[in-house]
Amino acid sequence: MPVCVYEVLENGIPSGEFLKVEHPHGQDFLQIHPYTGQKLIRRIESPHLNLEHSEKKDKKLNESQFVEKRGFIKYEKDAATGKYHKVAGLRGPDEFNPKEVL
């Protein structure tokens, strides 16, 4: 959900007090502070970047040992046969054909 930033108005003048609210898409923006009843004005912020992800971290998350250690199963598709073969995990079939499952 997008986060909107509002500034509280005191007698029509921005007070410097800010409020952040998560809004579902399509919901109208706030005009009144939900707790104090003061008027609000919406402020536009620059987009935020999540810098916690990197190629190295994403590669580690996809490693078979990492996946298996956390209890998941990882399958890789064989391009020649179209079957999926288990490369990590303890449960589940060793291989399956998605056309046969349906």
Q: Tens digits of per-residue pLDDT, 63-76?
A: 878 878 888 888 99
Residue 80 belongs to domain spanning = 55-101
Same domain, 92 and 63: yes
Total number of domains constituting the chain = 2
Same domain, 27 and 63: no
Same domain, 33 and 66: no
3-state secondary structure the chain: CCEEEEEEEECCEEEEEEEEEECCCCCCCCCECCCCCCEEEEECCCCCCCCCCCHHHHHHHHCHHHHHHCCCCEEEECCCCCCEEEEECCCCCCEECHHHHC
Same domain, 39 and 64: no
Query: Does the pLDDT at position 60 exceed 70?
Result: yes
Tell me whether residue 38 is in a domain. yes
Q: Tens digits of per-residue pLDDT, 1-32?
A: 678 899 999 988 999 999 988 877 778 889 99
